[in-house]
């Protein structure tokens, strides 16, 4: 089994309310979930207007496929309108004993 989790720390400069933030984050979360079939959730900064953190979990049959999906997920978030990526942190799950 090959698995990883990646978190994106995001800045939403145009947001002036929590409703505005949700409008910017929702297409990213839904797009990741449906396009890449990964688990996605907002994991931090729920009470801030211009900040968000999104966590993505990926499980794949091979290391190569896992890396391909992670690269695609990162490109998707990087090219999303209305958000700036401040930091990306990837954690790998090692199944070796």
Average pLDDT over residues 7-12: 97
CATH number for the domain spanning 54: value is 3.30.70.1120
Average pLDDT over residues 58-78: 95
Q: What does the mean pLDDT of the chain come to?
A: 93
Average pLDDT over residues 11-34: 95
The tokens for 56 are 């993505």
Map tokens 């992670």 to a residue: 70
Q: What is the pLDDT of residue 5?
A: 97
Buried b (16+ CB within 10 A) or exposed e, 3-14: ebbbbbbbebee
This prediction has a pTM of 0.90
Distance CA 69, CA 24 (A): 22
Q: Per the structure, how many domains does the chain have?
A: 1
List the domain range (segments joined by +) for residue 21.
2-93
């Amino acid at each position: 089994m090959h698995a990883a989790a990646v978190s994106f720390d995001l800045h939403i400069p145009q947001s002036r309310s929590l409703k505005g933030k949700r409008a910017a984050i929702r297409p990213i979360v839904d797009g990741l979930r449906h396009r890449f079939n990964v688990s996605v959730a907002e994991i931090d900064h729920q009470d801030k207007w211009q900040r968000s953190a999104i966590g993505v979990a990926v499980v794949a049959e091979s290391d190569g496929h896992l890396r391909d999906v992670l690269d695609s997920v990162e490109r998707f978030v990087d090219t999303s309108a209305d958000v700036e990526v401040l930091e990306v942190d990837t954690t790998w799950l090692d199944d070796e004993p």
